[in-house]
Every structure is written in C-alpha cells, then in structure tokens.
Amino acid sequence: MAIFRGVGGSGDSSDNSFLDAVTAQANSASASASAASASAVLAQASANSILTLTAATGDAGTDVSYNASTGVLTVPKGADGTDASVTAANVTGVLTGGTGISIASNGTITNDSPDQTVALTGTGATTITGTYPNFTIDSTNTTYTVGDGGLTTNDFTDADHSKLDGIEANATADQTGSEIKSAYEAVADTNAFTDAEKTKLSGIEANADVTDTTNVTSAGAAMLASSPTFTGTITVPNVTVSGTVDGRDVATDGSKLDTLLYHRVSELRLAGNTSAGSYLYLNTVDQNLGQATNIYHPSTPDDTTRLVDVEWTTYWGYTSVQNDTRLTLHLTVPVGGTTQNLGTVTEVSQYDPNYSSRGSGQKWYYVSGNVAHHFTPFGRMSQSSSGSLKHTIVSSQYDPSTNRTYFCLKIATANMVTNDTAYWHPYAWESNYTTLTQSYDITERYRSGLDRNKVSFKLPFTDATLTFRLKIKELASGDNAQVADSVVRLTSMGV
C-alpha cells in the first residue's frame, strides 16, 4: 500500500517529487479517461476508493465539481479545515431520475420500465397504419347480422321500456287454474263464488218457493192465509198498538192497572174444630195456639202493610175468681230491616183541640206526608238515627187536608223537639233474629162456656217474608181455659 503525504506535511523533498509524479499521472490518466467513457473513470474511482484527494488551496466548500470542458475534478477543502469526503450520497443526492428511471443511493441507475414491444394488427375491414407513437385505425365494415346472435331491425322504444318496468319481479304467465282460483278466493270482498256456496245452492230444491204451504209447515211455521195454528213459543219485540186490542185501549187499561194496590189475603187454619179432643188445655206457660210452630207471612213484590187477624174459640171453665188468658205474637226480626228517615218533626201544641194526651210522658208531633203505614207496635221512633232513645207509638193518623202524619209518642228519657229529625226503625233497632213480642189479654169472670175471640196484629211494612209464632197461656194458675179452632188470616196491602 502506498502512503502519500499531503501539503504542509513533514518529509523530504523526494516525497514531493513523488507526489508531483503521481499528480501528473493522474492528470494524464484523467485526460485519457475523458477520451474514454465517463463511466470508466467513475468505475476506476470506485475501484480505487482507497484514494484520498485533499485540496491544498482554495475556498472552503462541500460540493465536488467537475468541469466537463476541462476535465478537472475539483474537490474543495472542508469549511473549517476539515476533510470533505466524496461519497456516493453526495453525488446521487443531487440527481433525479426520469419516468421509469431510478437512482439508488449507491449510485446505481436502473431503468424500471424498459421499452415494450407494441404490435397492432387490423383484421377484416379494420386497418392500422402509422408508427410509434402515432397510429391510425380505420374500419370500413358497415355490415350487420339480423336475428339470433345479431342485431334486430325491431325498434326498442321508450314505451317498450316502460312496459317492462311495469312487470313485477318473478311474474309468470303459467299459473294453473287451481292457483288462480285459490288466489282469487283468498282476496277479501271479491264476492267469490266458493265451493261452500255452490254446496248451499245445490241443497236448494228445484223451484224452491218460500210461500209453499208444505214447506212452511214442515219448517214449523204456518201460513197466515191458511188460518195457522202456531205451536211453540213466539217471541216478538215491544209492540206499539195504535188502535185497540179486542176493543180495549191497552194503554188506558195499563194506567189503571198501575194504580191498583197490591192486595193479597190468605187464611190459615191452625188447629182443628171444637169436636171432642181438639181442645188445648192452657196453663201459665206459653203454648202454640195452633198445631204449627212457625207461621209465615210471605214476601211481596214491593213493601206492603202486613196484617194478622187471629180467631180462636175459648172454652172457659168456671172459676170463682177472674179467668184470663194472654195471646202473644212472637215476631222474629228478619234480615234487612233499615232505619227510615221520616223528616223533620214539629211539636203539636198541648192546647190543640184535635190531639190530646191521656197519660204523662206522651206528646204529639207531626211530619210532612203520609208515613202512617210504617207505624206498628213492633217499631220505635227516635231523634237519633242509631236509636239510642226509643219512643213508642201510642196513636197516629194521616191528615190529607194538611198532608201531614200526626203521631203521639210515649217518650223515653228525652222529648223530641221541633226541627228534630224523626227516625223510625220497624224492628226497634233490634238485631236480626231477635224475638219481638206484642200481647193481648182476654179476661172473663164468673162464667163458663164458649167464646169466639178475635185479635189483630199489624206487622212491619216490608216486602220480606215475616216469620212469627202465636203463643197463648193463662195468667194465673187457678185459671181454667181451653182453646180450639184457631184461624189466622194474613193480609198484604200496598199503599
């Protein structure tokens, strides 16, 4: 390996001589190289990369320049006296490749799109003329094929296109009759003539006639023209009569019927006749007057006044003292009894000549309207809706001239006063199934023989079934009486 000393270095003059010789050779070589190809010079430089050229003089710089006209390669010294190396990057960094040409960092220049061979050939009536890059293509063919695989002479117009657009997807023209029938009958309100309807029509006899007497009769009806006799039930809606029915104005008659009071009377025979052995011997313990224990006053369509009239025969045995009996009605309080509000009361003056009291603790009042049908010995009056005070009805009447109901009360504890509200409870505010009583005493003295006795009870105003018992007894152990042939008459009356 040869080592060269640069300018300013140490060494003897023979060294400079040698350098000068080398420089001369290099210049010679450069000159000769210029005659050869530039690539050959570059190749040599690359192959001799151990060669380091150092500028001795001149301005500082970084770029290496080459003067093609003089063939001089100038390498400037470093800016601060440092060495400036010649590298491939320094060379290639300032170069740009054209289309299809690339320059690698190591200086390799590559044609990325080498030239392609283009061959153009005309066929038939088509000819191609010209050279790269300008060609002329000319065709003289004006012949077209008509029919399959070719063109058609039929016009494809806008109207034809519109028709095709109007055809739904998957439209077919090959539906069967069954498919068409099913599709048609499946659509609502098409008035399809279905198989079921055909079956119905098939069931109608030829020349069917609804006015045919035989047919009508067989159907359970009757022809009016043939004096029909109906069997079964005929249901008709409300009937409006513009004339009369059997000569009667049914509307007028109906109004009269509406005002008729409900009135039912029934008679119960409680015990046998007075033949021997039919008597009931009395004592001081209550016994049933008849041979049935419970007696029923039936329910009514609406609230009614209930009367119980009792008759019986008493055979009095002779006694030297008073001989007396007591008949008691035992009424069972039914379910459903309610308090009646009779309105506001007004006290009647004690000096009113029409209404007088016969005992202390009694007082007259009146309320508006007719409420007398409510009053019975079983009920009680109170100025309290809960019946905390229970006054007993002593007397009452309805005065139509004033439309007032007057009543006299036997007062318990505290008087009712004017403007109090009068409450009436038909069962004296007693609980259901409690037994209420009312009695009549029948007395005779110093006689014997038969008497027919009659007493009446007024039961509460109600539509319920009332259950009661009739009990009879002697009031003293020395009494001597027998009873028989008892009858009860039950009356229900509307108001």
CB atoms within 10 A of CB 244: 12
**404 neighbors 356 (Cβ within 8 angstroms):** no
Interface pick for other proteins out of 390, 480, 489, 493 (rule CB under 8 A): 390
**380 neighbors 374 (Cβ within 8 angstroms):** no
Instruction: Decide: is 320 part of the binding site for other proteins (CB under 8 A).
Output: no
- Which residue matches tokens 């309100």? 189
Cα separation, 139 vs 150, whole angstroms: 19
136 conformational bin, left if phi > 0, alpha if psi -120 to 50, beta if neither: beta
Whats the size of the chain, residue-wise? 495
Helix (H, G, I), strand (E, B) or coil at 480: coil
Interface pick for other proteins out of 312, 429, 457, 461 (rule CB under 8 A): 429
Instruction: Decide: is 339 part of the binding site for other proteins (CB under 8 A).
Output: no
Comparison of 38 and 476: residue with beta carbon closer to other proteins: 476
**102 neighbors 96 (Cβ within 8 angstroms):** no
Comparison of 404 and 471: residue with beta carbon closer to other proteins: 471
Comparison of 147 and 359: residue with beta carbon closer to other proteins: 359
Minimum distance of other proteins from residue 380's CB (angstroms): 8
Side chain identity, residue 446: Y
Instruction: Decide: is 268 part of the binding site for other proteins (CB under 8 A).
Output: no
Q: Choose the binding region for other proteins from 24-32, 43-51, 344-352, 405-413 (rule: CB under 8 A).
A: 405-413
Q: Choose the binding region for other proteins from 5-13, 297-305, 430-438, 482-490 (rule: CB under 8 A).
A: 430-438
**335 neighbors 326 (Cβ within 8 angstroms):** no
Minimum distance of other proteins from residue 243's CB (angstroms): 58
Cα separation, 487 vs 114, whole angstroms: 147
Torsional sign, CA 269, 275, 276, 282: positive
Comparison of 16 and 435: residue with beta carbon closer to other proteins: 435
Instruction: Decide: is 364 part of the binding site for other proteins (CB under 8 A).
Output: no
Beta strands 481-493 and 280-281, pairing class: antiparallel
Cα separation, 455 vs 486, whole angstroms: 11
**325 neighbors 482 (Cβ within 8 angstroms):** no
Q: Choose the binding region for other proteins from 51-59, 300-308, 398-406, 409-417 (rule: CB under 8 A).
A: 409-417
Q: Which residue, 307, 312, 314, is CA-closest to 282?
A: 314
Q: What is the maximal distance between C-alpha atoms in the chain? A: 203
Interface pick for other proteins out of 201, 210, 285, 335 (rule CB under 8 A): 285
Instruction: Decide: is 384 part of the binding site for other proteins (CB under 8 A).
Output: no
Minimum distance of other proteins from residue 339's CB (angstroms): 14
- Enumerate the H helices of 85-157 as residue ranges: 88-92
Neighbouring-strand partners of residue 316:
449, 481
Q: Which residue, 331, 330, 327, 270, is CA-closest to 474?
A: 327
Minimum distance of other proteins from residue 351's CB (angstroms): 23
Minimum distance of other proteins from residue 437's CB (angstroms): 5
Interface pick for other proteins out of 222, 361, 480, 482 (rule CB under 8 A): 361
Q: Choose the binding region for other proteins from 58-66, 190-198, 346-354, 434-442 (rule: CB under 8 A).
A: 434-442
Interface pick for other proteins out of 311, 347, 420, 430 (rule CB under 8 A): 430
Q: Choose the binding region for other proteins from 30-38, 132-140, 410-418, 487-495 (rule: CB under 8 A).
A: 410-418
Instruction: Decide: is 444 part of the binding site for other proteins (CB under 8 A).
Output: no
E strand map for 286-378 = 287-288, 295-297, 304-316, 322-332, 340-344, 346-347, 362-368
Minimum distance of other proteins from residue 284's CB (angstroms): 6
Interface pick for other proteins out of 437, 443, 456, 465 (rule CB under 8 A): 437
Comparison of 303 and 474: residue with beta carbon closer to other proteins: 474
Cα separation, 283 vs 389, whole angstroms: 36
Interface pick for other proteins out of 67, 145, 172, 477 (rule CB under 8 A): 477
Instruction: Decide: is 475 part of the binding site for other proteins (CB under 8 A).
Output: yes
| Interface ranges with other proteins (CB under 8 A) | 284-286, 328, 330, 360-361, 377-378, 390, 392, 410-412, 428-431, 434-438, 475-478
